[in-house]
Amino acid sequence: MMARIYPFSNLFNFAEGPILLLYFQSVFQKDFKFKKRYLFHFIPSLIFFINSSPYLFLDDLPKESFIINYLQDSRVVFSVPTLSFPYFTHIVFRKLQAFLYMVAAAILVYKNFKKHRFSANNAQGYHFEYYCYCFIFGLGFYLMELLVSVNINPEKSGNMLFGSNVNDQISYAGYLNSLFIVSALFYPKLVFEKYFTKKPLHEARLNRKNNSLTESDSMKYDLHEIDRLFGEYIESMPYLKDGFSLNMISDGTKLPVHQISYYIKNRFDLTFNEWKNEQRIKYAVGMINAGMANNLTLESISQKCGYRSRANFVLAFKKVMGITPSEYLASYNKK
């Protein structure tokens, strides 16, 4: 079975890079549609398959012998018959191509999160940290595989690149590949999302049963009534108070905490802390734009916005606005 399908694996091996990039384009581009010009990305896969096609015409016995020898020594792969360029080019080009496509995908993801001021989640709910882990281990894996591909060339002479033996490099690549698979499929924040949600201590002590939310529960909520009560309550900007919490909203609106939490997530697509910080930073920006902060220090501005420390204010401001409050003030003063 392996002897018969081996050459066809080239079609899929050379397609992994383009498929990876197209996947991330489909995730981050709302109007993404597959275009005919994208097929050009798969031309190398077809070319290298044709180049290795002589293998298809070998008898069954040589094919089986090749697979058995390959499992014992991976260098045997260089003996695969080809039409034009040697099979060594296949291996190096495939790893290099996959590495470069992953770099392109990483750049695409970085630009997207930069555009959205490094928001923790994208439209599909994935976490920025998830992509970071995938790219760190994925880039490391393909780079190490590329290094191994160069070093196992039977015609290569001299010392190994970076002074390490091939077996060690193959082991490193295997470890990185395992971490890449684990991070891609079993990223903790995706699998165990609810356990990673940060809550104030007094909220964490609330009865889990009373705060649990199921899909059937959400159908019972009168979101219009919650919207009315919530809107009336925040008109006085209570989020500017030190220690503002879900319990304070619950006390002011007479609504259960879990309904308020659900409403904020459903209405703004933000967690409570993200929404609170966004409201506070909007108020700070409004103060600066209105000239109300000209004679105030950052410490004073942060306190007026409900922050206990300047450091927390700076971190929240940068996350919401993409720049620090000092940089925003500097740009405002230049106008």
Query: What span, in angstroms and rounded, lies between the C-alpha atoms of 133 and 130?
Result: 5
Are the C-beta atoms of residues 76 and 67 closer than 8 Å to each other?
no
Q: What is the pTM of this model?
A: 0.46
- Among 163, 194, 225, the domain-final residue is 194
N residues, the chain: 335
Q: Is the pLDDT of residue 51 over 60?
A: yes
Query: What span, in angstroms and rounded, lies between the C-alpha atoms of 80 and 55?
Result: 7
Query: What span, in angstroms and rounded, lies between the C-alpha atoms of 78 and 235?
Result: 72
**Same domain as 213, residue 154:** no
- Among 151, 176, 194, the domain-final residue is 194
**Same domain as 187, residue 221:** no
**Same domain as 166, residue 96:** yes
Strands of 116-168, DSSP E: none
Q: What is the pLDDT of residue 4?
A: 62
Are the C-beta atoms of residues 109 and 131 closer than 8 Å to each other?
yes
The string of pLDDT tens digits covering residues 264-307 is: 988 888 899 999 999 999 999 988 888 888 888 888 999 999 99
How far lies 33's CA from each of 30, 38, 87, in Å?
A: 9, 10, 35
- Token look-up 């990483």 returns 106
Q: Which residue has the higher pLDDT, 215 or 242?
A: 242
28: which 2 tokens? 């981050």
**Same domain as 102, residue 221:** no
**Same domain as 30, residue 172:** yes
What residues does 127 pair with on adjacent strands?
121
**Same domain as 28, residue 163:** yes
What residues does 121 pair with on adjacent strands?
127
236: which 2 tokens? 């006085």
The string of pLDDT tens digits covering residues 230-263 is: 999 999 999 999 889 999 999 999 888 888 988 8
**Same domain as 177, residue 219:** no
- Among 148, 174, 194, the domain-final residue is 194
Phi, psi (rounded to 5 degrees) for 83: -80, -40
Closest C-alpha to 138, from 167, 164, 106: 106
276: which 2 tokens? 């609170």
**Same domain as 150, residue 9:** yes
**Same domain as 248, residue 142:** no
Residue 221 belongs to domain with CATH number: 1.10.10.60
Q: How many domains does the chain have?
A: 2
Query: What span, in angstroms and rounded, lies between the C-alpha atoms of 20 and 167?
Result: 28
Q: What is the pLDDT of residue 284?
A: 92
The string of pLDDT tens digits covering residues 163-187 is: 456 566 667 777 777 777 676 666 5
Q: Which residues, at least 6 apart from 134, have a Cβ–Cβ distance to it below 8 Å? A: 180, 183, 184
Q: What is the pLDDT of residue 64?
A: 79
**Same domain as 190, residue 288:** no
Closest C-alpha to 320, from 335, 305, 299: 305
Segment 211-234 mean pLDDT? 70
**Same domain as 219, residue 98:** no
Are the C-beta atoms of residues 280 and 239 closer than 8 Å to each other?
yes
Are the C-beta atoms of residues 107 and 140 closer than 8 Å to each other?
no
Q: Which domain holds residue 225?
A: 202-333
**Same domain as 226, residue 270:** yes
